[in-house]
Amino acid sequence: MTKVVPGKKVPAFRLPATGGQEISLADCKGKNLVLYFYPKDSTPGCTTEGQDFRDKIHTFRRRNTIILGVSRDSLKSHENFKAKHAFPFELLSDGDEKLCRLFDVIKEKNMYGRKVMGIERSTFLIDDKGVLRQEWRKVKVPGHVEDVLEAIKAL
């Protein structure tokens, strides 16, 4: 399977999303897209990351940028998570891990001494023409949203 590469066009994708819709890369054409992958709804780091994107949404919108969160959680879980924290962006459900594998974010992780496969917190900046401009892997939440905004300003 092809993996995304910075400087190259991102292959087309379509996934079910909150709000009873399906969202594709083509739907974002003409706008920058921040695609952030996170391990699990309603966990501390994932909640903080979503809140940080939420709190800066007006700055992203002024920069012609859409935010989309992605995890393997169900749409029902996503809807609850989004509503509880008033996220003004959609969450994509990638239960079959197709988008996760395209962006190569499924990694072996250590959970309480057990090896498990899960999403490595990662963010991808795709420009208004569908080209991957920047990627952040093994993201640490504090200060991350500001780093993403700086990269958008540089586009």
The Cα 140–Cα 150 span in angstroms is 16
Catalytic residue among 46, 67, 91, 152: 46
Which residues pair with residue 136 across a beta bridge? 123
Neighbours of 115 (CB within 10 A): 8
100 catalytic residue (yes or no): no
Q: Would you say how long the chain is, in residues?
A: 155
The answer to whether the CB of 125 falls within 8 A of the CB of 154 is: no
Tokens of residue 46, six digits:
């994932």
What are the catalytic residues? 46
